[in-house]
Amino acid sequence: MKPRIVMVGMGEIGQALSAVLKAAHADISAWDICPGKVSGQKSLFEIVPRADYLFFCVPSWCMPAALTSTTPFIHKNTVVITVSKGLQQETGETAYDLLARTLHERQPIALVSGAMLAEELLGGLPGFGVAASTRAEVRARILDLFKRSHVHLEGSNDVRGVSFAGVLKNVYALGLGIAHGLKWGGNARAKFAISAVHEMERLLPIFGGKRQTTYGNSGAVDLVATGYSPFSKNVEVGAMLIKKRKTPPSEGLVSLTPLMKLLPKREQGQFKLLSAVHRVAIKGESAREVFDSLLKQL
């Protein structure tokens, strides 16, 4: 019997994962808040209760509303998965935290994160990610779901590490976008990226994660994929920040303020790249001045 999957949110990543799993012989139903985005869309009441797997493919700022809409219909055995890599503005919660707080304590929940650029997945190119959950049986079910696809997953019980690796990856991708907009060459941006990985390794334990998660699919692999991709929203937004234009939301941008609130003030000065991105993106300081100074310290 085909696994029954419901995708909530049919933006780029929702469409990409739907295509990937449909090709791997899954039964896909989809729902999106935008009318007309899903042809013949059925109600959440009709599709969510029958799901074996429920994917939330929405940005972090849409997660609370999406959960409110779907929670009454979620079966107790459905594996609920988020692909969000952002923090909640008010609480600083990760998407996994939000699932754990909102759903029943025995509900199977997981985070899928990593180098999975939607445009590449849709083009049949491979992706490399992590299925993170505190429960081994949940990780095993997700790995089995993707095993016949071109998205290659590894399992992890380091939920905090995988969650914050995704958040930090997006923040540092903003920085790579700023550097790109300032016409830094490949050499300097490579140095920025490696320095970002070193900062991530030191930051993950502060947020409750494991250092080694830095070097997996959800950390350094995802940072390199995103930071040098022409499809990256965070890189695009980073470049826009140079001219202080009004920017669209991105996971890195909306996560910066809550991320800095979670980081003890005495620790903040130790992370030069994170501080530089925060000064430009949130405090509105001159990108050229801040990054020229940063370049001398790399």
Interval 157-181: pLDDT, tens: 999 999 999 999 999 999 999 999 9
Please choose, from the candidates 5, 108, 127, 105, the residue with its C-alpha nearest in 3D space to the C-alpha of residue 57.
5
**Does the predicted TM-score (pTM) go above 0.75?**
yes
Radius of gyration, CA atoms only, the chain: 19
Q: Which residue among 109, 135, 157 closes a domain?
A: 157
Looking at the structure, tell me whether residues 146 and 219 fall in a common domain. Answer: no
Q: Please give the tally of structural domains in the chain.
A: 2
Q: Which residue among 157, 180, 202 closes a domain?
A: 157
Residue 51's contacts (CB-CB under 8 Å, 6 or more residues apart) are 4, 5, 6, 29, 74, 75, 78
Tally the C-alpha atoms within 13 A of residue 90's C-alpha that lie toward its C-beta. 3
Looking at the structure, tell me whether residues 146 and 181 fall in a common domain. Answer: no
Task: Give the amino acid at 184.
Answer: W
What CATH number should be reported for the domain holding residue 170? 1.10.1040.10
Looking at the structure, tell me whether residues 15 and 133 fall in a common domain. Answer: yes
Eight-class DSSP state of 78: P
- Report the pLDDT value the prediction gives residue 36, as an integer from 0 to 100: 86
pLDDT, one tens digit per residue, over 11-64 is 999 999 999 999 999 999 999 999 889 999 999 999 999 999 999 999 999 999
Q: Which residue among 102, 132, 157 closes a domain?
A: 157
Looking at the structure, tell me whether residues 129 and 146 fall in a common domain. Answer: yes
